[in-house]
Structure 1
Amino acid sequence: MTAQHLEDDGPLIPQPAMTREALRDAVRRIDMAHLAEFDRECHAAFDRAAETGAINPLRFFLIKWATHVAIHRWPARAAALREAERAAGDPAATEERFRAAMETSSRILAEAQREIGQ
């Protein structure tokens, strides 16, 4: 099941807290296709943190997935990022198209980072 798109092109859900449980629920609601990847990366981050005694693996995991949710909770933003990634990876793209795609990707990632407080 996916969240319904709002008529005013607003976010599908509010930005969740940067916790494992809140982010997992958000991914389940708006991007179910990535839930297994979320779970795998969560377990790997926990294992790395336990092995090293450092919290950085957990922090990086939370930042990555909070950013993912910040992007995907806005359908138009997620679609624009997918298009920019496609254009940037197109070997036939002109230099101008490539630069525009990279600028779009950078802008979207910066917006998402601001939303999560990074």
Structure 2
Amino acid sequence: MTAQQWEDGGPLIPQPAMTREALRDAVRRIDMANLAVLDKECNEAFDRAAETGAINPLRFFLIKWATHVAIHRWPARSAALHEAERIAGDPGATEEQFRVAMETSSRILAEAQREIGQ
């Protein structure tokens, strides 16, 4: 599957800025089921940053959720990733199916990372 096949339907929303509020709004619009998870992880990242005096927990939070949005804003890309994850976790999958699923997952994640500038 190519990137073009994943993206035929177009994105649901533009890729937001890599800020807490912009990412929260994007998740609220395209993946409401994960909004509580985003809020919980945001609070945890803030607490870790405050405890350690380091910004890395906040940075990792932003990168993780920007990547999540980059994937989920394209319904076909999201579906392809979920299918690849399903196959990769299936104990009955052949070695070839597993290999293709892992390649698909890696390609989708790499595209999302490029999209967010990472």
The one-character-per-residue Cα deviations of 1:58-97 (angstroms, maximum 9, x if unpaired) are 0000000000000000000000000000000000000000
Letter in 1 for 2:13: I
Is 1:76 matched up with 2:103? no
Q: Equivalent residue for 1:42?
A: 42
Task: Identify the structure with bigger relative contact order (alpha carbons < 8 Å, sequence gap 6+).
Answer: 2
* Whole-Å separation in 2 of the counterparts to 1:116 and 1:41: 19
- Identity over the aligned pairs, expressed in percent? 88
Q: Shift of the alpha carbon at 1:16?
A: 0.1
Is 1:55 matched up with 2:63? no
SS at structure 2 position matched to 1:67: helix
Bigger drift between 95-104 and 8-17 goes to 8-17
Please list every run of 5 or more consecutive structure 2 residues that lacks an aligned counterpart in the other structure: 1-7
Map residues 1-118 of structure 1 onto 2, 5 A cutoff.
9-118=9-118
Aligned residues: 111
Q: Shift of the alpha carbon at 1:40?
A: 0.1
Q: TM-score, normalised by structure 1?
A: 0.93
* Whole-Å separation in 2 of the counterparts to 1:88 and 1:10: 26
Letter in 2 for 1:51: E
* Whole-Å separation in 1 of the counterparts to 2:83 and 2:59: 29
* Whole-Å separation in 1 of the counterparts to 2:39 and 2:9: 29
SS at structure 2 position matched to 1:33: helix
Moved over 4 A (4+): none
Q: CA RMSD in A?
A: 0.6
* Whole-Å separation in 1 of the counterparts to 2:9 and 2:101: 22
